[in-house]
Amino acid sequence: MTRKSKLLMGAIIVAAALSYLIYGGIREAAVYYITPAELHEKGASAADRSFRLGGMVVPGSVHWDPGTLQLTFRLTDGKEQVAVMHTGSPPDLFKEGTGAIVEGKYMSGNLFIASTILAKHSEEYRPPQAGQAQAKDLYRTLMKPPEERR
Amino acid sequence: MISTLGRFTMVLALGIALYGAIVSILGVRRRKPALIESGRGAVFAVFGLATFAVLLMEAALVGRDFSIQYVARNASLGTPLLYTVIALWGALEGSILLWIWILALMSLLAVVIEGRRNREAIPYATAVLLSISAFFLFLAAFPANPFAAIFPPPADGRGPNPLLQNHPLMAIHPPCLYAGYVGWSVPYAFAMAALMTGRLGEEWIRTVRRWSIVAWGFLTVGVILGGWWSYEVLGWGGYWAWDPVENASLLPWLTGTAFLHSIMIQERRKMLKVWNLALIITTFALTIFGTFLTRSGILSSVHAFSESTIGPMFLAFIGVILLVSFGLLVYRSDGLKAEGDLDSLVSRETAFLMNNLLLLGFAFAVFLGTLFPLISEAVRGVKVSVGEPFFNKVNVPIGLVLIFLMAIGPLIAWRRASLDSLRRNFSLPLLLAFLGTGVSSILGVRGLYPLLAFSLAMFAAATVIQEFARGVRARRQISGEGYLTALSNLTKRSRRRYGGLIVHLGVVLVVIGITASTVFRLEKEVSLKRGESMHLGRYQVRFDDLTAWQEAHRFVVQGTFTVLNANRQVAEMRPAKRFYPSEQQPIGTVDVRSTPREDLYLILSSFTQDGASATLKVLIRPLVMWIWIGGAVMALGALVAIWPDRRVLVAEPVKERVAWQPGRS
């Protein structure tokens, strides 16, 4: 065998190894985007599988217990709702009535255990809504005279 | 006034760029020096107009002229001066303006510096550079006009995106990244010029190598600073999430790195001519693709802060680039036969070929993983994403082999390496690598990949240090110089080689930082009442106080935490949340205590309204600082490699007239 064909063989082997690596990676790491309605449709067949579930956080459904760090809420796509459970605090951009994507596993019994919450950051400018409490009103009690601030 | 003037400047610059591109080609085809000279003048004029436009925009921003839509959206009365000035690159239209300016500057430098040496190539390169400018000027003149007016002007602007005004790193990360992207235009332009003139020898390689290192250096710094910004601002304790926009900046880096290595083979052995042209075309196309990914909103990303209609134009531009460039490449393929041949499989050529193959494989995996949701939706109709696990699974093994090649490449001889030279060059580093593996295993490193990463890093570092040590020793024996003089003279003798070795050392530091901060990471989230403490690693963190105050442009709630190590107070840390009036949700501000050994990272997750308790996330990330230091070392290496040689100005470069030959002791 000439050196050139040896080299070509080597390149083919490397390329094959790379393809195998990529193929395996995709098989193992593929995560399906799914909506609450699609999840309901799948039902029990979706149990114990990983998904990326996207929807709107149902107003009034968020419950957060700082003591145990348990966060529960429901996601909806307007048709169906899925209960989501997460350990940890809600991310800054997470809010009722806005979009969120959660990653995690679907358990039987219509419960989604989220390992990650990705809140959608909206670029749109919205003026403060009437009746919506402003931070400086909410946390007025925390304000101290300047000299006490370090 | 500013609106009309700005728009007029853009349109005028567009016209001049198009004119310059056309007359440059006409001048060289019809042998009319006056036309070529006119094309050169166009480069100067475009730079002048771009500079004027940038200054005009800065005047509007700093003067808070809210009749300009861009200013109304990205500045406000309360925004501090620094963030007002850098709002130039806070959104789409201003970024394009900055892009235009950097491109105009690079074109000007290329024309001035290379003009004397490349009489034949320069008109073509000028035409290519001006055509690229014309595309971006077209965007700025029409669909993404930064000077668009708004009527009636609002009383106050909205201010920059809070995430973009939370850290001063925003002042340097985007310009560096853009310079890294734009910088590749110059090597691309000279490659195209080589194809157009048919002078396909090694001249264009010699012209572009320094420009490529400049672009590569800026891109490296841009990517690393992006990671640092993400780490300091986004508050998740990580620096790289395989986010589409991060990947977009990594892709040209990977192919550009491959290019920097493969042109050495062409210089030495006159091989890989087609390959090098294809690599530079791909790299340039990927820089445009990166902008497209960032700016089109086609993939959801934390960075994709603007969705706009210019996406299809970018795609069309990329299509034209690929079609024209590869079309020319095929047209000229007869003149691109390799003159040299591979002598042995155990040679530096082979190591570099493997390095190229793997860097491209790495890039392909990143490209595929990034676009996978689009591909799967188009092919199978389902949206499937492959996240971090995919990139880690595929790219970590490739990366490890690359580190191995990085260690042996510079030391293995060209053409054919003898067994004896291999033994001489690698026995000590190999021994150190095994020793390092043992030590890291004792220190608690488990798992194949982490152990391999540490031992290969050790191996690579040892080869670099051995190479410097041998060179210094040889010089000292011959000339009796001191250690530092010998080191500096050694580096001066062969800047590219030793600059490259310094870059490799930087890569080693980055690899060690990434591995350690991933393997030994600790984190814990708890709710604490005032005075309560939590423990993590060697630290005890006590919640002392929560205070709030109003600043000009935001409201701040800040926690005070005392950090103790073995009952001794080591720091007081203040993570906070900032409430911007234009945002409905607060922006968290982390507090990081960095030491060479480890970073302690505090995130204030939430707190009760009365301030009696707060939820705190504490993270420990060992050796993170070495990633940033490694980035600086890589930039230093690039700087050493491009530092002008006084010899070059006096005479033609002397070929390796060194007492001591690299790779041989």
Residue A89 within any structural domain of the chain: yes
Across B27-31, B610-614, B653-657, least confident range: B653-657
Residue A18 within any structural domain of the chain: yes
Question: What are φ and ψ of residue A130, in 5° steps?
Answer: -60, 140
The CATH number of the domain holding residue A56 is 2.40.50.140
Same domain? A2 vs A62 = no
Residue A145 within any structural domain of the chain: no
Residue of chain B whose Cα is closest to the Cα of A129 = B584
Does A103 contact B582 at a Cβ distance shorter than 8 Å?
Answer: no
User: What was the pLDDT predicted at B297?
Assistant: 56
Please give the distance of CA B648 from its chain centroid, rounded to a whole number.
29
CA neighbor of B460 nearest in space, from B436, B490, B488: B436
Rounded CA-CA distance B163/B181 in Å is: 23
Residue B563's beta-bridge partner residues?
B541, B571
Same domain? A23 vs A97 = no
How many C-beta atoms lie closer than 10 Å to residue A60's C-beta? 10
User: Which chain B residues in 139-168 lie under 8 Å from chain A, judged by CB atoms?
Assistant: 158, 161, 163
Average pLDDT over residues B301-327: 77
Residue A46 within any structural domain of the chain: yes
Query: Shortest CB distance from B585 goes to which of A33, A95, A134?
Result: A95
CA neighbor of B518 nearest in space, from B609, B621, B436, B589: B621
Same domain? A67 vs A18 = no
Average pLDDT over residues A104-130: 69
User: What was the pLDDT predicted at B482?
Assistant: 84
Calculate Rg over the CA atoms of chain A: 24
Reported as a pLDDT band with limits 50, 70 and 90, residue B654 is very low
CB B70 within 8 A of CB B93: yes
Q: Is B271 exposed, middle or buried (0-12, 13-18, 19+ CB in 10 A)?
A: buried
Query: Shortest CB distance from B384 goes to which of A31, A88, A95?
Result: A31
- Examine the pLDDT at B355 and tell me if it is beyond 50: yes
Candidates B234, B383, B587: best to mutate against A (most CBs of A within 10 A) is B383
On whether the B1-165 domain is CATH 1.20.120, my answer is yes
Query: Which token pair is B398?
Result: 């490739």
Contacts of B238 (CB under 8 A, 6+ apart): B230, B231
Same domain? A80 vs A40 = yes
Give how far B647 is from chain A: nearest CA, Å: 39
Residue A136 within any structural domain of the chain: no
Q: Is B143 exposed, middle or buried (0-12, 13-18, 19+ CB in 10 A)?
A: middle
Give how far B352 is from chain A: nearest CA, Å: 12
What pLDDT digit, counting tens, does each position of B159-179 carry? 887 777 778 888 899 999 999
ipTM: 0.80
Rounded CA-CA distance B252/B286 in Å is: 5
Rounded CA-CA distance B246/B306 in Å is: 16
User: What was the pLDDT predicted at A127?
Assistant: 44
Same domain? A6 vs A38 = no
Reported as a pLDDT band with limits 50, 70 and 90, residue B601 is very high
B254 at A interface, C-beta within 8 A:
no
A24 to B211, B404, B586: CA distances (angstroms): 39, 23, 40
Same domain? A26 vs A53 = no
DSSP secondary-structure letter at B172? T
Task: From chain A, pick out residues whose CB is under 8 angstroms from the CB of B384.
Answer: 30-33
Reported as a pLDDT band with limits 50, 70 and 90, residue B663 is very low
Rounded CA-CA distance A8/B353 in Å is: 11
Calculate Rg over the CA atoms of chain B: 27
CB B553 within 8 A of CB B78: yes
How many domains does one find in chain A?
2
Beta strand pairing status for B613-622 and B522-529? Answer: antiparallel
Residue A36 within any structural domain of the chain: yes
Task: From chain A, pick out residues whose CB is under 8 angstroms from the CB of B307.
Answer: 123
- Examine the pLDDT at B51 and tell me if it is beyond 60: yes
Same domain? A7 vs A56 = no
State which residues form the domain around A7: 1-30
Residue A53 within any structural domain of the chain: yes
Reported as a pLDDT band with limits 50, 70 and 90, residue A150 is very low
Q: What is the model's pTM?
A: 0.90
Does A69 contact B560 at a Cβ distance shorter than 8 Å?
Answer: no
A54 at B interface, C-beta within 8 A:
no
Rounded CA-CA distance B590/B230 in Å is: 11
Residue B68's beta-bridge partner residues?
B149
Residue of chain A whose Cα is closest to the Cα of B161 = A123
A16 at B interface, C-beta within 8 A:
no
CB B128 within 8 A of CB B41: no
Same domain? A18 vs A56 = no
Same domain? A104 vs A53 = yes
Residue A131 within any structural domain of the chain: no
What kind of architecture, by CATH, is found in domain B522-625? Sandwich (2.60)
Same domain? A25 vs A37 = no
What region does A131 belong to: left with phi over 0, alpha with psi -120 to 50, or beta? Answer: left
Rounded CA-CA distance B611/B448 in Å is: 46
Contacts of B252 (CB under 8 A, 6+ apart): B180, B181, B184, B219, B283, B284, B286, B287, B290
CB B123 within 8 A of CB B39: yes
Domain ranges of chain B: 1-165, 172-338+352-365, 391-519+631-644, 522-625
Query: Shortest CB distance from A142 goes to which of B398, B585, B611?
Result: B611
Q: Interior CA angle at A4 toward A3 and A10, to 5°?
A: 90
- Examine the pLDDT at A125 and tell me if it is beyond 50: no
How many C-beta atoms lie closer than 10 Å to residue B240's C-beta? 19
Give how far A32 is from chain B: nearest CA, Å: 4
User: What was the pLDDT predicted at B349?
Assistant: 85
Among residues of chain B, what percentage have pLDDT more than 90? Answer: 56
Rounded CA-CA distance B76/B160 in Å is: 8
Reported as a pLDDT band with limits 50, 70 and 90, residue A1 is low
Average pLDDT over residues A133-146: 65
User: H/E element holding B577?
Assistant: strand B576-579
B354 at A interface, C-beta within 8 A:
yes
Rounded CA-CA distance B508/A56 in Å is: 44
Rounded CA-CA distance B450/A140 in Å is: 49
What pLDDT digit, counting tens, does each position of B2-17 carry? 899 999 999 999 999 9
User: What was the pLDDT predicted at B144?
Assistant: 87
Same domain? A115 vs A97 = yes
What pLDDT digit, counting tens, does each position of B479-535 carry? 888 888 888 888 888 888 999 999 999 999 999 999 999 888 999 999 999 999 999
Same domain? A106 vs A49 = yes
Mean pLDDT, rounded, of chain B:
88
Average pLDDT over residues B546-570: 90
User: What was the pLDDT predicted at B299?
Assistant: 59
